[in-house]
Amino acid sequence: MTLRNRLKSIGPGAIIAAAFVGPGTVTTASVIGAQYAYVLVWTIAFSVIATIVLQEMSARLGLVSRAGLGEALRGEFDSPTAKAASVVLVVSAIGIGTAAFQTGNIVGGAAGLATITGVSESVWGPLIGLVAAALLWTGNYELIERTFVALVIVMGLAFVANAIMVRPDLGALARGFVPAAPEGSAYLIAGLIGTTVVGYNLFLHASTVQERWGGPDDLAECRTDTIASILFGGAITLSIVITAAAVFPAGTEIGDVGAMANQLEPVFGGFALTFFAIGLFAAGFTSAMSAPLAGAYATAGALGWDVDLKSARFRAIWLTILGVGTVFSGLGYDPVQVIVFAQVANGILLPVLAVFLIYAMNNDALLGEHTNTRIQNALGAVVTLVVIGIGLQTLRDNLPAFVEFLRGALGA
C-alpha cells in the first residue's frame, strides 16, 4: 500500500488527536507561549513522542488481541479483590474524570462560537451537547470517525493559519527544542504533558481500532494513522504556543484563552480572531464527543459489559457523561473542584495504566509475535517514569483542593 493510500486511512488516530487537543491544551499552550515564549517548545516534542509510544502500544493491543484495554485489564487478574480494585480505579478515574472534564470541553467549544456570533455561551453549550449526543446516538462509527477527521483538519488549519500570520522568530523557535526549565515552569511542563498523554485515550484507541480494522494484517495502516495524527495534533499545540508567544510580551500572565482571543483582534484584525475562535470551537466540540466515548469504552470494558456503540448500557454511560457536561455548561457552573478530583484520579491512574500496558505488551499468549521489542520496552519505561513524576506533581499541587473537595462531598 502506498503512503498516499495509507494517509487516506486516517481515522482512530484523528480521534485521539482531537481528544488531547481540547480546551485544556489550548489554555495551557496559550499560557506557556505568553509566559515563556518558545522556551518550553521541547515539552511539546516530548509529549508527542510519549503519546506515540503509548498509543501505538494501545492500538496494537486492541488490533491484535481484539480486546479493549478495559477487557484486557480484567483478564489479567485472577483475584476477585484485585479485579474489583481495578474496576473501581478505572470507573472512578475514567468515568468520573471524563464527566468532570466534559463541562470544560463544552464550555470551550461554546466560547469559540460565542466569539464568532455574539450569542451567549450558555446558549451554545447545551446545543453543542445535543449535537454531540445526536452523532454518538447514531452508533455509526464511520460517521463519527469522519466527523472527527473533518473537525481536526478544521482545527489544524485555523490554529496553523494564526501561527503563520504572526511570523514567528524561527531561530528562537528552533532553540526552544533544547530542553530548559525556567524557574516556576514545572507546573506548566507537567500540565502540558498531562493534557497530551491522557489515560482515557489508551482505552479509546484500543477500542476504536477494532471498529476500523480487522486484525494484525492492518498494523502498518494503524501505525501510519497513529503517528501522522498525533504529529498533527502536536503541530496544532505548537501553533498555539507560537501565536501566544507573538502576541504577548514574554512574561505575561494570562488566566484563560479569552485573553488570547482579545489580544488577537487589535493586533491582527478580525480574521485572526475568527480563526482562533473556529479552532477553539473545533477543539471543544471534538473533545465533547471523545470524552464520553472514551468513558463508555473504558467503563463498559472494565465492568465486562458489551462494548457496542448501539448497546443500551454503552449509550447510558456516554449519555450520563455528556449530560453532566451539558447541564453544567448551561448553568454556567464552575467545575474546578470536580476537575481537581479528576486530575488527581487520572494522575494516579495513568502510571498504573502505563505499567500495565507495558506488561500486557510482553504477553506472548495475548499478542504472539506482536509483543514489544526491547526498544519499545525501553521507550515505554522512560515514558512511564515521566508520567509517574507528573502524577506525583499533580497530587502535590492539588492535594489541598482535593481534600477540600472530599470534605464537601462528605458533608464534613
For the segment 198-248, what is each residue's pLDDT rounded down to a tens digit?
889 999 999 999 999 999 999 999 999 999 999 999 999 999 999 999 888
Interacting residues of 4 by C-beta distance below 8 A, sequence separation 6+ = none
Interacting residues of 270 by C-beta distance below 8 A, sequence separation 6+ = none
Domain ranges in the chain? 3-410
Least confident of 95-104, 145-154, 313-322, 368-377: 95-104
Residue/partner pairs of 29-32 with CB below 8 Å, 24 or more apart: 29/192, 29/237, 29/240, 29/241, 29/244, 30/240, 30/241, 30/243, 30/244, 30/254, 30/257, 30/259, 30/260, 31/188, 31/244, 31/253, 31/254, 32/188, 32/192, 32/241, 32/244
Give this prediction's pTM. 0.90
Tell me, what's the pLDDT at 2?
Answer: 59
Q: What separation, in Å, do the N-terminal and C-terminal C-alpha atoms of the chain show? A: 62
Q: What is the mean pLDDT of residues 86-100?
A: 77
Q: Do the Cβ atoms of 97 and 201 come closer than 8 Å?
A: no
Grid cell in block for residue 117: 456570533
For the segment 275-291, what is each residue's pLDDT rounded down to a tens digit?
888 999 999 999 999 99
* 123 pLDDT more than 70: yes
Q: Do the Cβ atoms of 235 and 133 come closer than 8 Å?
A: no
Grid cell in block for residue 363: 504477553
Q: Do the Cβ atoms of 224 and 17 come closer than 8 Å?
A: no
CA dist 32 and 45 (Å) reads: 14
For the segment 301-349, what is each residue's pLDDT rounded down to a tens digit?
888 888 899 999 999 999 999 998 888 777 765 555 555 566 666 677 7
Q: How far is CA 340 from CA 161, 203, 337, 347, 357, in A?
A: 33, 21, 5, 10, 25
Interacting residues of 240 by C-beta distance below 8 A, sequence separation 6+ = 25, 26, 29, 30, 33, 159, 163
Sign of CA dihedral 377, 95, 395, 20: positive
Q: At 93, phi and psi to the nearest 5? A: -75, -40
C-alpha neighbours within 13 Å on the C-beta side of residue 223: 10
For the segment 164-205, what is each residue's pLDDT rounded down to a tens digit?
988 888 999 999 999 998 988 888 888 888 889 988 999 999
Interacting residues of 165 by C-beta distance below 8 A, sequence separation 6+ = 268, 271, 272, 275
CA dist 178 and 16 (Å) reads: 27
Q: Do the Cβ atoms of 325 and 99 come closer than 8 Å?
A: yes
Q: How far is CA 227 from CA 46, 93, 223, 363, in A?
A: 14, 26, 6, 24
Pick from 221, 240, 239, 219: which is nearest to 229 by CA?
221
Pick from 344, 41, 38: which is nearest to 192 by CA?
41
Find the radius of gyration of the CA atoms of the chain.
20
For the segment 345-395, what is each residue's pLDDT rounded down to a tens digit?
667 778 888 998 999 999 998 899 999 999 999 999 999 999 888 878 777
Tell me whether residue 81 is exposed, middle or buried, using C-beta atoms within 10 angstroms of its C-beta: 0 to 12, 13 to 18, 19 or more: exposed
Interacting residues of 184 by C-beta distance below 8 A, sequence separation 6+ = none
CATH code for the structural domain at 3-410: 1.20.1740.10
Q: How far is CA 161 from CA 158, 238, 268, in A?
A: 5, 12, 12
Q: At 333, phi and psi to the nearest 5? A: -70, 140
Give percent helix, percent strand, percent coil of the chain, each to the nearest 5: 80, 0, 20
- Looking at residue 132, its amino acid is A
* 256 pLDDT more than 70: no
For the segment 43-80, what is each residue's pLDDT rounded down to a tens digit?
999 999 999 999 999 999 999 999 888 888 877 777 78
